[in-house]
Structure formats: structure tokens, C-alpha cells
Structure 1
Amino acid sequence: MLRAFALLLLAAMVSGCGFKLRGSDGQFNMPFKSIALGFALTSPLGTELKRNLRAVGTEVVDDPAKAEALFEVLGETRGKSILSLNAQGRVREYLLTYTLVFRVRDRSGAELLPPTDISLKRSITFNERQVLANESEEALLYRDMQTDLVQQILRRLAAIKPV
């Protein structure tokens, strides 16, 4: 009986329905062939977005006049605030935030994507005896939020309807 159930479960898993989210395979169809990014040259977020755009076949150009689309960064902030305290009044958890506000315009200046705000939050526990480990974990969480932010930007860029 158990064997039959296991075989039935295995058959159901193998046959799967084929459901797949749009863009979940990492392939995005951008509505433009080239884009200029408004990030500073040293921005890690800009570097990762540039790499991902090139991976999906979109040319990233430095001169906005040569680009079909212009990605403008209106604001990028990272924050850290106290989330909870322990009984002695010391910090137990922090809330890390990463916010990006941007818009996308075409070559003529028409707005393809209005100002868009993406805000990510992660909580991190704090132990005063392990300060270096906490700093490493914080850096890792910011890097994870950056990757998540890039994926959300790519999905929003792919959803733009050309004018």
C-alpha cells in the first residue's frame, strides 16, 4: 500500500502541469534594444543591473542620445533602524531597508514608466558578542536585497508597453 502511494506520488510529481511564471527562467523580452542607465559608475546596483540587461540581450550604452530608453535614478537609499530591544534595553533586532526610486523615458523624453518606488526590508538579529559576524550578515543581506531589486527592475522593464 505504501509502495503504491509512493509510486503514485512520484508519477504525479514527474507529470507536473508545466506551470511557469513569466520570466522565471531568467529570460525577459525587453521592449527596447538599448538603454542608458543613470547610475554612478561605481554603483554596485548599476553594475549588476547592467550585467543582467546584457545577459538578456539588451545593449547598455553610456550616451543617452544613442539609447532607445533612459533609466533615471531618482533616489537610492539604504537604511538601518532598531526593530526590537531586549529586557536590558539593548538592541535585539535591526530592520534593514533598501529603496530605489526610478523612472524610464524614451529618446524623445516621453515617460515609458512613471516614477516607481521599490522598497525592500529585511530583519537581522543582533548579538553584541558577535559584532563582526553581524556586520558580515548585514552586508550579505544588502547584497541579497540588491539582487532581488535587480530582478524586480527587470520584470518592470519587461512589462513596459512601447508607445
Structure 2
Amino acid sequence: MTTLAGCGFQLRGTSPVPAALQPLAVECPDSLPGRFCQSVREQLSLGGIELKPATEADYLLRLGRYQQDRRASAITAQAAAAEYILRHTVTIELMTTDRVPLIAATDLSASETYRYDETNVLAKQREEEELRQQLGDRLAQQVIFRLAPMTRERIDAAIEAHAASQDAAGSP
């Protein structure tokens, strides 16, 4: 097993989020898809991260501005869509409960292309819905991986840098 530990091997489904981000609150407004929010929370819990309400947490992960976009990317000779691109985007922000930013507001996105067949509309609608769910799950994984570098050292450095910038701003 030591060979695997040295090569970056990680069991599937485990979180790369460091324990330094505990306890963590996840703010996920009702405007975001419930399945996406649930996926983020589940992946954090699977990784051993203790989730708490914002009033009891040391860190706050804010999720917002979830956008879903569907655009034609290829057109048939009859001017009908032959292929679509689905793109989902979410904004994340990580801060201490004292509002010290650890990760500034950042947009994450995932996209997928699929062929459209107007003679098989129901099957393509089901395929599109499945792809939307997969994109949401992929975005949730991106959120988790974005938190991975947040070690105790990085958190402390960010807090110190924030305090220094506040001191400099207050100095004449």
C-alpha cells in the first residue's frame, strides 16, 4: 500500500479536501439545483469533512450563480440543429467565518456535446437530461478539487495576507 500512497493514488469517492477546512458550512441557495447541492455535500461528507450550519462552522463555502446553457454547435443542410453543447457554470467562494477570503469568487464550468436526432426526440430529451445530471455531478467534483489546496499553511498565509492588507489600507 505504501507504493500507492506515494503515487497520488486515491480511492474513488474520497475527498481530496484537507481536514484543515473543518468544520465547514455550505451555503447553497434555493436557486441552485438541489441535486448539485446534495452532490457537493455528499462528496464532502464522504471525504470526512464535518458539515455544520454557518453559525457553528469555521469556514463557509458559498455556491451561487448556477447557469445552464444549451447552444447548437452544428447545423444540418436543412438548417436544423444536428449537435448541441450543454454548459453548466457555478460560482464558488470560500471564506472564514470572519469573512477573510480564502478563494475569491471563481466560476467553474463543465460542458458536453451531444448529437441531436429530430426523428428520435424522446430519446434525445432523455439523453440531454442525463447529460445535465452528469454535468452537475462533474461541477460538484470541480468544487471539491478546488478546495484541495487549502492546507493549514495556506489558510494561515491567506489570513495573514488579509490582515496585512487591512493594516496597510488603514495606515496613512
Q: Using structure 1 for the length normalisation, give the TM-score.
A: 0.81
Partner of 1:60, secondary structure, is: coil
Q: Which residue matches 1:6?
A: none
Equivalences for residues 10-159 of structure 1 within 5 A: 20-21=7-8, 23=10, 25=12, 26-28=14-16, 29-40=18-29, 43-62=34-53, 64-159=54-149
C-alpha contact 1:23 1:155 (8 A) present in aligned 2: no
Change (3 A) 1:136 1:142: same
C-alpha contact 2:15 2:48 (8 A) present in aligned 1: no
Q: Which residue matches 2:155?
A: 162
Displacement of 1:68 in angstroms is 1.3
Same amino acid, percent of matched pairs? 20
Change (3 A) 1:154 1:30: farther
The amino acid across from 1:102 in the alignment is I
Displacement of 1:22 in angstroms is 6.2
Change (3 A) 1:22 1:75: farther
RCO comparison, higher one (Cα < 8 Å, 6+): 2
For the pair shown, which has the larger CA radius of gyration, 1 or 2?
1
Displacement of 1:134 in angstroms is 0.7
Q: Using structure 2 for the length normalisation, give the TM-score.
A: 0.77
Change (3 A) 1:154 1:23: farther
The amino acid across from 2:21 in the alignment is F
Q: Which runs of 5+ in 1 are unaligned?
A: 1-16
Displacement of 1:103 in angstroms is 0.5
Distance 1:23 1:112 in 2: 25
1:42-64 deviation line (CA, Å, top 9, x unaligned)? 621111111111111112223x1
C-alpha contact 1:30 1:157 (8 A) present in aligned 2: no
Partner of 2:21, secondary structure, is: coil
* Paired residue total: 146
Moved over 3 A (4+): 17-25
Aligned-residue RMSD, C-alpha: 1.9
Displacement of 1:32 in angstroms is 1.4
User: Which segment drifts farther, 53-62 or 35-44?
Assistant: 35-44
Change (3 A) 1:54 1:140: same
Displacement of 1:30 in angstroms is 3.6
Displacement of 1:74 in angstroms is 3.4
Displacement of 1:105 in angstroms is 0.6
Distance 1:86 1:20 in 2: 47
The amino acid across from 1:46 in the alignment is C
Displacement of 1:155 in angstroms is 1.3
